[in-house]
Amino acid sequence: MAQMTMIQAITDALRVEMKNDPNVLVFGEDVGVNGGVFRATEGLQAEFGEQRVFDTPLAESGIGGLAIGLGLQGFRPVPEIQFFGFLFEIMDSVAGQATRLRHRSGGTMNAPITFRSPFGGGVHTPEMHADSLEGLMAQTPGLKVVIPSTPKDAKGLLIASIRDNDPVVYLEHMKLYRSFREEVPEGDYTIELGKADVKREGKDVSVFAYGAMVHASLKAAEELEKEGVSVEVVDLRTIHPLDIDAIVKSVEKTGRAVVVQEAQKQAGIAANIVAEINDRCILSLEAPVVRVAAADTVFPFSEAETVWLPNHKDVVEGIQKVLNF
């Protein structure tokens, strides 16, 4: 075991899988000798060589096509999109091509690709760096979307993503890269995709969150505990497909639910969770499910992040709303 930040855990996962499987290739803009703009691929090119870890021209769509083509030759590509706001450049390769390949070939071809990409607000990035676009991905059949919130989850989920034989979009919240350390097991372990994790047990209300909002929710839960409210915080970890079992189990226990996301209310995946809860356990609900989300505007100018991004106070407010319904 070692104390690691999330970014160190990500690098460690990449190293483990590169050692484990010679077909794993890491590529993207500045991921080679530079070790990535966030140092996520630090040291990998030196260790595995330029044939396994390499830079690409500055063109996201080209990176997507490269990944699909390499996948067709039996490689296991782990391309990086420098910031997920640049998704729109590569949208066809991800949503129009990679995710459809198994289906359109009648199950005879596949795209074992893990698209890694940073996103998320709170670090005052320039335009189109921090946008939460996971909702677009979650609407894409044939794709899995993973968003870790802790170093330990990050490593196990990334190894599982790389080993998955279908495409995975693996989103790394920039605010969480170095915000805290955690014990991370050494070597090889996986966390099953599509499985949520109860980060805090509670009995009065269920909070479903992912990414940075897991920590906002945990902070809100701590605050409310002082008032005698017992909050269960469920970290979804994979936002598509959802862990329906875990969601239903928690709602049936608490009878109340809040869904928390950093994305705008019209985006993200909160609406989908509300719909699943309504479909599957409406008879357990004491109150309507409340959503905590950002305003339906474009991601804010960086100075406005603090007033725009949802935080633990918004989560507290949301929880009080369902409790006082």
Partner 1 sequence: MTNKQTVSELMDHMLQVGNSVETLQILNEEGEIVNEAAMPELTDEQLKELMTRMVWTRVLDQRSISLNRQGRLGFYAPTAGQEASQLASHFALENEDFILPGYRDVPQLIWHGLPLYKAFLWSRGHFVGSQYPEGLNAMMPQIIIGAQIVQTAGVALGLKLRGKNAVALTYTGDGGASQGDFYEGMNFAGAYNAPAIFIVQNNRYAISTPVSKQSKARTIAQKAVAVGIAGIQVDGMDPLAVYAATSEARKRALNGDGPTLIETLTFRYGPHTMAGDDPTRYRTKETENEWEAKDPIVRFRKFLEKKGLWTEEEETKVIEEAKEAIKEAIKLADQTPKQKVTDLIENTFETKTFNLEEQAAIYNEKESK
Catalytic site positions: 129
With respect to partner 1, which residue has the nearer C-beta, 193 or 322?
193
Q: Are 28 and 190 spatial neighbours (Cβ–Cβ below 8 Å)?
A: no
With respect to partner 1, which residue has the nearer C-beta, 136 or 246?
246
Q: Is 243 in the site for partner 1 (CB under 8 A)?
A: yes
**Contact flags string 250-269 toward partner 1, x per CB under 8 A:** --------------------
Q: Is 241 in the site for partner 1 (CB under 8 A)?
A: yes
Q: Identity (one letter) of the amino acid at 115? A: F
Total number of residues binding partner 1 (CB under 8 A)?
43
Q: Judged by CB under 8 A, which of 11, 45, 97, 149 binds partner 1?
A: 97
What is d(CA 107, CA 59) in angstroms, rounded to the nearest whole number? 29
Which residues 140-199 are close enough to bind partner 1 by CB under 8 A?
A: 141-142, 164-166, 194
Q: Is 70 in the site for partner 1 (CB under 8 A)?
A: yes
Q: Is 53 in the site for partner 1 (CB under 8 A)?
A: no
Nearest to 253 by CA among 234, 279, 275: 234
Compute the C-alpha angle 47/49/53, nearest 5°: 95
Per-residue exposure over 207-219, b if at least 16 CB sit within 10 Å of its own CB, e if not = bbbbbbbbbbbbb
Q: Is 242 in the site for partner 1 (CB under 8 A)?
A: yes
What is d(CA 37, CA 42) in angstroms, rounded to the nearest whole number? 9
We find the least distance from the C-beta atom of residue 244 to partner 1, in angstroms, to be 5
What is d(CA 259, CA 263) in angstroms, rounded to the nearest whole number? 11
Q: Is 28 in the site for partner 1 (CB under 8 A)?
A: no
What is d(CA 119, CA 55) in angstroms, rounded to the nearest whole number? 20
Q: Is 228 in the site for partner 1 (CB under 8 A)?
A: no
Q: What is the 3-state secondary structure (H, E, C) of 244-279?
A: HHHHHHHHHHHCCEEEEEEEECCCCCHHHHHHHHHH
Q: Is 51 in the site for partner 1 (CB under 8 A)?
A: yes
We find the least distance from the C-beta atom of residue 240 to partner 1, in angstroms, to be 9
We find the least distance from the C-beta atom of residue 106 to partner 1, in angstroms, to be 4
Q: Is 32 in the site for partner 1 (CB under 8 A)?
A: no
Question: For residue 36, how many other CB atoms are within 10 A of its CB?
Answer: 24
Binding site for partner 1 (CB under 8 A): 25, 51, 56-57, 59, 61-62, 64-75, 92-93, 96-97, 102-110, 141-142, 164-166, 194, 241-245
